[in-house]
Amino acid sequence: MSQNFGRESPRAHSQTSHRKPARYLVVIGAGGFTLARLFLETRELVAEFDAGTEEAAQMTAGLAPSKGADAPEWDRALEGHSAAERLAADVYTLAL
């Protein structure tokens, strides 16, 4: 039998800064699949998931996408995608 009674006291909460919110959602084709990629305002990738999920639909509800992610600011962020994939991509600007 254990000689410990009760539970350990919770540790003090550390005050750390939160992650920055995602600013862009790019829906792009990739080898026969459609991906949703979340980017910060700096075009840094923070998440990637299947664009067919309910979450992707909820994020884009009521938003009108801009067509194509072929502008120079997307070059580094989407360097693994072909020019045709980037041209066909939908870019959603999310509310902060």
Half-sphere exposure of 32 (CA within 13 A, CB side): 0
In a domain, 13, yes or no: no
In a domain, 68, yes or no: yes
Q: Which domain holds residue 86?
A: 26-93
What are residue 49's phi and psi, to 5 degrees?
A: -155, 170
In a domain, 48, yes or no: yes
* Rounded distance between C-alpha atoms, residue 86 and residue 37, angstroms: 12
In a domain, 38, yes or no: yes
In a domain, 89, yes or no: yes
The string of pLDDT tens digits covering residues 52-66 is 999 999 999 999 999
Q: 46: closest CA among 20, 84, 15, 74?
A: 20
Q: Using an 8 Å Cβ cutoff, are 40 and 20 in contact? A: yes
* Rounded distance between C-alpha atoms, residue 88 and residue 91, angstroms: 10
Model confidence, pTM:
0.80
- The number of domains in the chain is 1
The string of pLDDT tens digits covering residues 12-31 is 888 887 888 999 999 999 98
